[in-house]
Every structure is written in C-alpha cells, then in structure tokens.
Chain A
C-alpha cells in the first residue's frame, strides 16, 4: 500500500483531557497517514472512545492539538460542523435515527449539511445501500433491521458524505457473534480501497488482516504504537502482552 503521503491525515500532539479532577487522556500523540488503517485497543475505560471522539471534536480536550487534514480541531475558530461533515463516524450502538427510513437516514446529512438535492442524495444513498447489501431494506425503519444490518447502514450513512477518513468506535462489540463478520467484511473492503481508518476494536483478526498499525491504550495513555507485525510479534509492554493473551484466548 503506497498511498501514504508525508502530511498526515490525522495528527494528535500531546493530547490531555480531564473530567474534573480525573485525567482521562494523558499526553497522547500519534499520526494517521492517508490510506492508513489504525486499530486502537486496550482495556475498557482506558480512554479509547474519548481519544477517537477528540479527533472530530465531539469531546473537547484541555491540552495538546488535534489536526485533521491541516485543520486544528481544538481551535475555537474552526467550524466543527464543516470539518465533521467529512470525517465519518460509526458508533458502537449504531445510532441510526429511529424515526427516519433507512434512505432518509442516508440522505439527511447530504441534504442538510452538504446541500445536495433530494434526487442526488437518494441516488447516492441507493448506491451505498447496494454496496453494503441492503438495497432491499431502503424503505424500512432502523428498528426493523438486525443489529448487523443497522451497523452496515450506519457505515453507508457515513460513506454518503464522501469522508476523507473514517472513525469507528467498537463497531462490532454490540453485535451478536453471527453478525460480526458481515460488518467486518464491509470494513475490510473499505480498508482495501484505501480509506483512512481509525478503528477502536478488539477484533484482532480484522487487525491482522488490514491494519497497518496497532495502538494499545491503558489508563489514558498510548502505551504502545507499533506496526501490526511488531505488535503481534513482540509487544513491548507487559500490559499489552497480558491484554493480547486475554483477548486472543477466547
């Protein structure tokens, strides 16, 4: 994969964040280049969701800098809605809008944020639904779909906005085991097409298949930031070794 260029798509510089007295993130730094796929793992409560939400400014941080395609997320002058329009995000619990049909879920952002016409938005929606294998469900409401289907819709919804990168926050951890693969397949395909991706996930099979780098977090710190080969071959920190042995054993 040679799409990587020198200027990173996403850059975190010494990001620290507190909830009151409690420090959630401590001095987190990393970079994601264009076309790179990063998997972020670590124990529950280690700050993975918080870190990924700093990237599109859904969580504010008190110290450090987050830069997405040259734009500083923490700068009060930055128009966050404009930036977020091109940073796709997929959540653990899908977060489709329950009162809208699947098509409307895919169109709302295109129409209200990107200013596309209804026709144009619906065409794009149909194309992306087809791509995730859900064309037949277009007229249904989210509550009428399985979890796996909803998550594929959520990915399609993000892709409708022509994102420059995608953020995933444990996209498969709320799914029944038999539905995990249908979602991972879509993500693998995306990765292979060269999408820049930052994925919080414990799916190590996925990481082995498409990740370029793996980040391991513990207690709000990035403890390990290694290439996939190094991470699975010889994780340096004891914590990462322990964590890996735990999640790989089941």
Chain B
C-alpha cells in the first residue's frame, strides 16, 4: 500500500481558501451538535407526549398517537430527510412553500432538525409507553382514588416513575441522535459527515479525515452516554433495588 500518511493535514490550509481543514471539521462538529441537540429536545417533548397518549383511556387519542409512532418509525430516515426537504414545501400553501424554499434562513438545518426530531420522537414514544405500561396498575388507581384528575395522576404519579425507568433505553436513543444526524449531509447541512467528504476530496487524505471524524462522533456519543448516566444516578429513588446504599 502506497498510502502517504500526513497527520499534519489538519493544520494545512484548504485549497483556495484561508481556513484550515481543522476549521472545516470543527464547523461540521458544531452543526452536528446543533442539529442533534435541537432534534433531541423535539424528540423528548413529542416522544413523552405521544408515548403517554398511547396509554390513556381515550381510544381516539391512542389511535392518533399510534399513527404518529408508526408513521415516523416505518420510513427510513434518509427517505424522511428527502421528503421533508423536497416534498413537504410543495405540499404547503404556495406562498408558504415559496418562503420555505427561498427565504427560510438555514433551511437545511431546520429541515434536518425537524426530521430527525420527529423520527426520534417515535422511538422515544415507544420507550415511554413501555415504561408507563410497566408500572403496577394500582399506581394509577391510587392517584385517581385520592382525587387527582387523570392528567394530574400522569404528571405527579406515573410519569416521574416511568421516566426514571426508561433512562437506560433513552440513553441509546440520545446516542443514536448524534449518529443519525450524519444523514443530514444528504440535504446539504454542513455537518461533520458533509465536511469530512469535502475534506477527503479536497485533501486526498481520506484515512486521516475519517479517523478524525470517527473520534469526533465517538466523543459525542460518549458524552451523551455520560450525561444520561449522571441523570440516572441523580434521579435514583432511595429504597429501590438500584438505589440501595
């Protein structure tokens, strides 16, 4: 193999510009973090909402929430990216569509964030539903029996325990958000994968490029994992098996 290693490449200037390749990768890293964190906020909010709606007595609400989950879970993420980017603006009322296509600032970023957020929300919803359904039925009964309304029982009794239970599965979803954000390059978000491909073509140092990118993705996922581990410890309930000291 005649590969010419050059670890100094990151500090070299890009062709025809005054940035270094490291600047490119760090910009990409910034967009990756921005897309992922914004998408995670959307995913948690809507995931908790639709997950709990799947457990309520109202058949209509359950059906709505189930449809939501199935819709976003059964279409490949890459296809969803293209749908949001190319198809949805066409389906909007004409002037809205035009505004999205021509005037929405950072439209690639917004599209990717919404797409990844909704996709992940369906996965969060499934975990939250499973968490609520794993609670003893008596907990709901006890909340209602003391006069709490159903929403109050969810708010003060069911969700606090159910959400604690699903922190471990949500940890992998949080890590997945960072990994899945790489799909955003397909619609032109200048995130890490996008920048890596650009650097690889420009510098012809593909191996160094992708090893660096691997490290940056690893840092994201690992940090996500540690954050969730801290949350798990901090919210542990005294007197439960995991919380015994």
Q: Which residues of A contact B (CB under 8 A)?
A: 53, 56, 58, 80-87, 89, 91-93, 95-99, 108-109, 112-114, 140-145, 157-158, 161
Contact = CB atoms under 8 A, between A and B. Distances in A.
Contacts of B237: 98-99, 141, 143
A53 B137 CA distance: 13
24 contacts: A81-B148, A85-B146, A85-B147, A91-B142, A95-B136, A95-B138, A95-B139, A95-B141, A97-B139, A97-B157, A97-B161, A99-B164, A108-B148, A109-B146, A113-B146, A113-B148, A114-B147, A140-B238, A141-B237, A141-B240, A143-B243, A144-B238, A161-B146, A161-B147
Contacts of A53: 141
Contacts of B243: 143
Given A161-B146, A161-B147, A141 B136 contact: no
Nearest to A89: B145
B146 A98 contact: no
Contacts of B139: 95, 97
Q: Which 10 A-B pairs have the closest CB atoms?
A: A143-B239, A85-B147, A95-B142, A144-B239, A113-B147, A109-B146, A89-B145, A95-B138, A141-B239, A141-B238
Contacts of B240: 98, 141, 143
Given A87-B145, A97-B156, A112-B148, 18 more contacts: A58-B141, A58-B144, A81-B147, A82-B147, A85-B147, A86-B147, A95-B142, A96-B142, A98-B237, A99-B237, A112-B152, A113-B148, A140-B238, A141-B237, A141-B240, A143-B237, A145-B239, A157-B146
B149 interface: yes
B168 interface: no
B30 interface: no
Nearest to B155: A112
Given A93-B136, A143-B238, A143-B239, A58 B145 contact: yes
Contacts of A140: 238-239
Nearest to A53: B141
Which of B152, B164, B237 is packed against the most chain A CB atoms within 10 Å?
A: B237
B169 interface: no
B188 interface: no
A98 to B, nearest CB: 6
Contacts of A109: 146-148
Nearest to B238: A141
Contacts of A58: 141, 144-145
Nearest to B160: A99
B156 A112 contact: yes
Contacts of A113: 146-148
Interface in B118-147: 136, 138-139, 141-147
A163 to B, nearest CB: 10
Interface string B208-232: 0000000000000000000000000
A96 B146 CA distance: 11
Given A141-B239, A143-B243, A144-B239, A84 B147 contact: yes
A81 B149 CA distance: 6
A104 B94 CA distance: 55
Nearest to B149: A81
A114 B148 CA distance: 10
Which of A81, A82, A96, A145 is packed against the most chain B CB atoms within 10 Å?
A: A81
Given A95-B139, A99-B160, A81 B144 contact: yes
Contacts of B142: 89, 91, 95-97
A109 B152 CA distance: 10
Nearest to B159: A99
Interface string B152-172: 100011001100100000000
B240 to A, nearest CB: 5
A84 B239 contact: no
A91 B141 contact: yes
Contacts of A141: 237-240
Contacts of B149: 81
B141 A98 contact: no
A145 to B, nearest CB: 8
Contacts of A99: 160-161, 164, 237
Given A91-B138, A93-B136, A95-B136, A142 B147 contact: no
